[in-house]
Amino acid sequence: MKKLTVIFLIIFRFAGAQDKLFYTNGKTKTGYLVSIGKDIVFFKKNDTARVEQINKGELILIEDYKGTRHVFATKSINEVTKDSPINETLRQNALKIQPFGVFVGRCMFLFEHLNKDQSIGYVFPLALTFDPVGVFYLPSDSSARRHISGVKFITGMDVNFYMSKKKHTRFFIGPRLRYGTDVFLLNTEAISLQTQFGWDFGSNANLFTQQLSLGFGFVRIMSNSTTRISRNQSNAWFSLNYSIGARW
């Protein structure tokens, strides 16, 4: 059990939490702090890179992934880092929509809350589903498909694990759970579980945000209003998602 705990901590350490160096010339660098010697700091850009030796005289401070700071410079930290990302106000909440979902009968809203170090996002979705046939487009002449009236909902939860702290584009991965009734799919009630892979565009200090993701998993059909879809069966499921919104 102790070995598993150590392995888990190592994986978490290199998955997303990074340390940050602040140089006296105003530059910053992110990566992994190996150790701090008397006059030298040993640092790696990533887990496969070589260890760099950096003179302490070149640094103002180091902020590790836990938020602990190691200060080396004698001059005012605020004077040197006033324009540095360390003083950026990182926005922890976002409200997004999936604009293209309306063409398949979904008005999707997503609220995301990021933890303190911006490495994990908790997403709470809510979709109002409807039948776009007869609203955006008509069925083909050969189809007996008629408009299904009414509005239903789909909800669930995502957990996004962000793999880096890059300023503009970040990769994330995590589970994606959905439950509800899709009116467009003939009032089908189902629950789906996927693994989601995606990219977040835009710094967390910016007002606007965009995300693009792919999901792979399965869906379990619970009930529907037609005999054309078998009940109580599981099928492979895929999703392509694009969202845009605002942070605060």
pLDDT for 99-120, tens place per residue? 999 999 999 999 999 998 889 9
Contact status, residue 160 vs residue 177, Cβ threshold 8 Å: no
Sign of CA dihedral 6, 14, 208, 159: negative
Q: If you average pLDDT over each of 131-135, 152-156, 230-234, which comes out highest? A: 152-156
The reported pLDDT for the residue numbered 108 is 96
Kindly report, residue by residue over 161-174, the tens digit of the pLDDT.
998 766 678 999 99
Phi, psi of 58 (to 5 degrees): -85, -10
157 close to 123: Cβ distance less than 8 angstroms: yes
Q: Which of 181, 127, 126, 183 is nearest to 150 (CA)?
A: 183
Per-residue pLDDT at 85 exceeds 80: no
pLDDT tens per residue across span 62-81: 888 777 888 886 554 555 44
Q: What is the mean pLDDT of the chain?
A: 83
96: number of Cβ within 10 Å: 22
Angle at 11 between CA 7 and CA 13, to 5 degrees: 115
